Structure 1
Amino acid sequence: MRKVFVAGAAGFIGQHLVRALVSGGVSVIAQVHQRQVDFGPGVQTVTADTAAETLLQDCDEVAWLASGTTPAGSASDPLLELGSNLAPLLKLLQALQSQPGCHLLHVSSGGTLYGDVDHPASESLAMHPRSYYAAGKAAAEHFIEAWCQQYSGTATVLRPSNVYGPGQTLHGGFGVIPAAMSCLRDGKPMTLWGDGESLRDYLYIDDFIAACMAALRQPPQHGMHVFNVCSGQATSLKQLLALIEQVAGRTLQRDQRPVRMVDLRRVLLDGMRIRHELGWAPRTSLHDGLQRTWQWLNAIQP
């Protein structure tokens, strides 16, 4: 039986990935930081202070989803990126030096790495991080590539657009969809930065998990392989909020503020490489994804 080590398993994406792996008959070691999650049978849960060298001995693959910051959270404190994200990843890479046959799946960022673009960014476009958060993601990719080159490692890096869906809670002000829906449910105004014309790509969680599973099923040859993962649909903030209001049947109160330095105007991704090489494509429309997310939010306790 295949065994996968999942770091960041208690997070939004991590919980969905663990469930998908278990459903596929995969044995999982789930590493959690503070939040405890009952994953049920077939999952061994460990804490972040457990030595990676011991955990990786019998693993075929590692899925690295651990992230302790947000773009706004580390905006004035770059050391947060070092302590929360880079240092734990470097410990993992050090452990992987003796296990080059262990495939590494790393979830990076497509929404922050490329900077403002005039057309959908392909994976070959140079990275232009504007925030410390994005700079940390770029640094992580460089370290992973160095590990691949020095120790004949194999890594798949996924750069997702804005992933949303059931299970996503508001964390550090990160996530416009859970923020808007929470405000609508609670009848509170939502703080909005900028004029609402900024463009983003929104990807439903089930579609992103399908991309992760496709990458884990088809480990590439030696080296680092990068894929954008996106819906391919550019949506302005105004359009997004209008769709959310339509799904909820309510009007969102807005508290408009000036744009911030860390905010990007146009974040557009080219997702053709993953379609061609891994056979993946998104299946969920933005309307349907928002509807499922709103139904989930109203089914849980406020």
Structure 2
Amino acid sequence: MMRRVLVVGAAGFIGQHLVRALAAAGASVVAQVHQRQAAFGHGVQIVTADTAVETLLQDCAAVAWLASGTTPAGSASDPRLELSRNLGPLLRLLQALQAQPDCHLLYVSSGGTLYGDVDHSASESLAMHPRSYYAAGKAAAEHFIAAYTQQYSGAATVLRPSNVYGPGQTLHGGFGVIPAAMSCLRDGKPMPLWGDGESLRDYLYIDDFIAACMAALRQPPQHSMRVFNVCSEQATSLVQLLALIEQVTRHTLQRDQRPARAVDLHRVLLDGTRIRQELCWAPRTSLHDGLQRTWQWLNATPP
């Protein structure tokens, strides 16, 4: 197992799950948090966002970058947010990594926004077609990471997950249809829906995505950047998803139908062949079971 690992964005939905998985696997974890508080138990060192990244990287075998200061809707009218909140901090990390290229960088990108509308499952070789500033920021980050690995012989793994969901995911800036729908059901409020509901997405349970992160960290690349889609490879329309949520929760969701938005994609489908072959990873949780566990967690959590 990897030794000392720095997790940037540790207080977020994915970050909290990854920190706990790393600690359970015996890694020494440095968890960097921004504003939000998080409790991880023994063996995890918690540091704040104002701590110099050069200091945090000392003796680290890997760094997992999960931090994101925007959502697709949040930066839709202000592209500068992608620079100040996401790209700027990442570039400072890359500059620090130049002095220790053997430190493995794990960067969580986005499979759900990078490829644009596709009529088939997108493989990693498909050109990126970002439609939102958020997606453009992810694409730019990947290009900077690739340039870093080529100039300084660094090691980096980029994961492009589909729509990750599960216990611990809160409604943040309207980001995440599953927590949005379940929150509306719990609170008895109508859910705003844009478009005709026929848009297709791939949904991935959090435990399966964390397993992919752990597999990537266990097998770092040799002085290069590799890219993996991480997905269930199951296309689900919004109409189908909401029907399944109603079945799991035994509640009827009130719908507030609205016109489609320019940033919304109709088909986001990913090909997960590469990660299955190279990291021997595959999802294990069905959408029904994942939704059921998520609903149980939400009902046990105070509003």
Specify the TM-score bucket, using the shorter chain as the normaliser.
over 0.9
**Partner Cα distance (1:20, 1:143) in 2:** 28
Q: Residue 52 of structure 1 aligns with which residue? A: 53
**Partner Cα distance (1:40, 1:146) in 2:** 37
1:66-145 matches, within 5 Å, as: 66-145=67-146
Matched, 1:195 2:223: no
State the secondary structure of the residue aligned to 1:98. Answer: coil
**Partner Cα distance (1:84, 1:172) in 2:** 15
Number of residue equivalences: 302
The offset of 1:221, in angstroms, is: 1.5
1:47 aligned partner, one-letter code:
T
Between stretches 281-290 and 51-60, larger displacement belongs to: 51-60
Q: Residue 165 of structure 2 aligns with which residue? A: 164
Q: Residue 240 of structure 2 aligns with which residue? A: 239
State the secondary structure of the residue aligned to 2:46. Answer: strand
State the secondary structure of the residue aligned to 1:159. Answer: strand
Q: Residue 17 of structure 2 aligns with which residue? A: 16
1:243 aligned partner, one-letter code:
L
Structure 1 segments, 4+ long, off by >6 Å, are none
**Partner Cα distance (2:251, 2:270) in 1:** 31
Which structure 2 residue ranges, 5 or more long, are not aligned?
none
**Partner Cα distance (1:99, 1:220) in 2:** 15
Q: Residue 298 of structure 2 aligns with which residue? A: 297
Q: Residue 206 of structure 1 aligns with which residue? A: 207
TM-score by length of 2: 0.99
Matched, 1:268 2:288: no
State the secondary structure of the residue aligned to 1:276. Answer: helix
State the secondary structure of the residue aligned to 1:133. Answer: helix
Q: Residue 282 of structure 2 aligns with which residue? A: 281
Identity across aligned pairs (percent)?
85
The offset of 1:229, in angstroms, is: 0.1
The offset of 1:49, in angstroms, is: 1.2
User: After superposition, what is the alpha-carbon deviation per residue over 1:131-181, rounded to whole angstroms, capped at 9, x for unaligned?
Assistant: 000000000000000100110000000000000000000000000000000
1:5 aligned partner, one-letter code:
L
Between stretches 134-143 and 45-54, larger displacement belongs to: 45-54
1:29-44 matches, within 5 Å, as: 29-44=30-45
TM-score by length of 1: 0.99
Q: Residue 180 of structure 2 aligns with which residue? A: 179
Which structure 1 residue ranges, 5 or more long, are not aligned?
none
State the secondary structure of the residue aligned to 2:168. Answer: coil
State the secondary structure of the residue aligned to 2:241. Answer: helix
